[in-house]
Homo-oligomer: A and B are copies of this chain.
């Protein structure tokens, strides 16, 4: 039967509206929005469509050219049946067990919540209909997108199923609709495929909230130091600083802190492994989760760094800056004195700018290598080299940038306002901590132990590892 179909399907032209006389017929159970949208799309791609409905005569909203029959009659027209019904109504399909025997049932359903049921809809369907070949597909595609042709988004259709032939039949249909099928293996994958469309950036949540908290904290901190303090003591209205000056203090601090937060779980994990003397015990859940969203933390940090660069480069165009420099020059011209050149200051100023720019350059490089298509073409050794070596170099450069920027002003009591130090001082706490611990960890004596642990050695084992195994096994 499958072989017959294959011959027929070869005559159907994809992506063209020409209708051949031997169109492949596909049956769709259910006349809801998704069923109709999919049916319309398939009609446009040259398939012949028969809808199955409980009340065939009541279903008048169907696309032109599609037939509508009772469930059992419709099922007889095709060996591929798309089940566009809600899970709660799968039970009635058991009445059709005989008609559906040997057919390919395509489960397109989605749930309303992640892990709503203990087993996926597709696996539930497969249990109800053991005689049919259940394939999960199309649930990641939006009905609206099918309808409007606006498939700018992912054209990927995740497909899984236990029967290989059935799965490949469905994948061919997916291709003929101009979409890209992605084989996800057996029906085991169905629950993940059903959860997929419900997610909204799950790995971004912690990084997002962390950076929001950081921004709000430093915003309040800077408003107190830079706007309220001068207003109270000098009656100076500095509110215009809210637009650029204050954000340009928050952005670099957030960027540096988040970048350090990317490397913090790594050093915590190393300390934990040293303390436990083994790598075969799981990390606590919070550390696991933290490690899994390091990429997202790093990308948000890069975003802040990018904003910091923009906000810094725009400085000489600002009215406030031009006014200040202009007035300074005028008053010096009036008092007829030129500035002497301060070589030390020129050195410091150029160094912190250079450190910042090199740090930003490496940061952009890290960002580019974390693009999926780039990280897929590098192997593990190369990825580690870039993300670990270059990553720490970036952290060192950015920390040095902030340190040199602060210069000697840092812990100068004259810089305290209401006992609050400059915001940069606070921003340096985490990066410096990470760098100091990392420096200790790469001291030869400690690094040696850590390397052994990471290669599988364990400190406290009841029975010592047999020397034979240690040499033989990978």
Question: Is B149's CB under 8 angstroms from A292's CB?
Answer: yes
Collect the chain B residues with CB atoms within 8 Å of residue A377's CB.
372
Given known A-B contacts A33-B455, A364-B306, A474-B86, A462 and B60 have beta carbons under 8 A apart: yes
Collect the chain B residues with CB atoms within 8 Å of residue A288's CB.
149
Smallest beta-carbon distance A142→chain B, Å: 5
Collect the chain B residues with CB atoms within 8 Å of residue A294's CB.
150, 152
Picked from B153, B172, B309, B318, the residue with its CB within 8 Å of the CB of A375 is B153
Collect the chain B residues with CB atoms within 8 Å of residue A381's CB.
197-200
User: Chain B: which residue is nearest A149 at the CB level?
Assistant: B288
Smallest beta-carbon distance A451→chain B, Å: 11
Given known A-B contacts A58-B469, A154-B383, A333-B333, A327 and B339 have beta carbons under 8 A apart: yes
User: Chain B: which residue is nearest A176 at the CB level?
Assistant: B188
- Summarize A's interface: helix, strand, loop or mixed: helix
User: Chain B: which residue is nearest A141 at the CB level?
Assistant: B380
Question: Is B325's CB under 8 angstroms from A326's CB?
Answer: yes
A53 at the interface (CB under 8 A from B): yes
A54 at the interface (CB under 8 A from B): yes
A471 to B295, CA, bound (A): 42
User: Chain B: which residue is nearest A165 at the CB level?
Assistant: B164
Question: Is B333's CB under 8 angstroms from A330's CB?
Answer: yes
Question: Is B243's CB under 8 angstroms from A353's CB?
Answer: yes
Question: Is A328's CB under 8 angstroms from B326's CB?
Answer: yes
Collect the chain B residues with CB atoms within 8 Å of residue A59's CB.
466, 469
Question: Is B374's CB under 8 angstroms from A84's CB?
Answer: no
Question: Is A9's CB under 8 angstroms from B280's CB?
Answer: no
Picked from B345, B371, B380, B455, the residue with its CB within 8 Å of the CB of A371 is B371
A240 to B353, CA, bound (A): 12
Count residues on chain A whose CB falls below 8 Å from chain B CBs: 168
A206 to B382, CA, bound (A): 16
Most chain B CB neighbours (cut-off 10 Å) among A370, A387, A472: A472
Question: Is A32's CB under 8 angstroms from B470's CB?
Answer: yes
Question: Is A317's CB under 8 angstroms from B316's CB?
Answer: yes
Given known A-B contacts A330-B329, A469-B53, A463 and B200 have beta carbons under 8 A apart: no
A231 at the interface (CB under 8 A from B): no
Collect the chain B residues with CB atoms within 8 Å of residue A433's CB.
none
Question: Is A291's CB under 8 angstroms from B387's CB?
Answer: no
Collect the chain B residues with CB atoms within 8 Å of residue A333's CB.
329-330, 333-334
A245 to B350, CA, bound (A): 9
Question: Is A197's CB under 8 angstroms from B380's CB?
Answer: yes
Smallest beta-carbon distance A285→chain B, Å: 11
Smallest beta-carbon distance A195→chain B, Å: 10
Given known A-B contacts A354-B244, A372-B374, A315 and B317 have beta carbons under 8 A apart: yes
Picked from B15, B312, B326, the residue with its CB within 8 Å of the CB of A332 is B326
A303 to B143, CA, bound (A): 32
Query: Could you list 19 A-B pairs, sorted by A, with CB under 8 Å?
Result: A9-B188, A14-B189, A30-B474, A54-B469, A61-B458, A86-B474, A108-B474, A150-B291, A152-B294, A153-B387, A154-B376, A176-B189, A243-B350, A313-B317, A317-B353, A319-B342, A326-B328, A334-B336, A372-B374
